[in-house]
Amino acid sequence: MHKLVPPFEVVFVGDDGLLKELFETHTDIPLRIVKKEISISSTDIREAMLKNKDWKKYLSKSTIDYLEKTDSVERLRKIS
């Protein structure tokens, strides 16, 4: 894994699942458990963007600002 990603000091994971188990079992890297607050995937958000549905309600203001600044919706439409 260390060959695939840049150096890091902490890993953020959900409170269940394979990723948490792998890091707990095979590394000494500290984990920060993140509670999943909404049940939506990035695929769902991209689909909402493409269908002109309200995708912003699922994201933080800073994320929305970044996506708008980088014209991400239009870029997504171009590659879809």
- Shared domain for 26 and 50, answered yes or no, is no
The identity of residue 76, as a single letter, is: L
- Shared domain for 23 and 50, answered yes or no, is no
- Shared domain for 47 and 75, answered yes or no, is yes
pLDDT at 3: 78
- Shared domain for 28 and 49, answered yes or no, is no
Domain count, the chain: 2
Is 9 in contact with 30 (CB distance < 8 Å)? yes
- Shared domain for 48 and 65, answered yes or no, is yes
pLDDT at 18: 87
Q: In angstroms, rounded to a whole number, what is the distance separating the alpha carbons of residues 16 and 38?
A: 15
* Domain containing residue 69: 42-79
pLDDT, tens digit (0-9, with 9 covering 90-100), for 18-70:
888 988 898 888 999 888 777 788 999 999 999 999 999 989 899 999 999 99
Query: DSSP assignment of the chain, as one string?
Result: -TTTS---S-EEE-SSSHHHHHHHHH----EEE----S---HHHHHHHHHTT---GGGS-HHHHHHHHHTTHHHHHHHH-
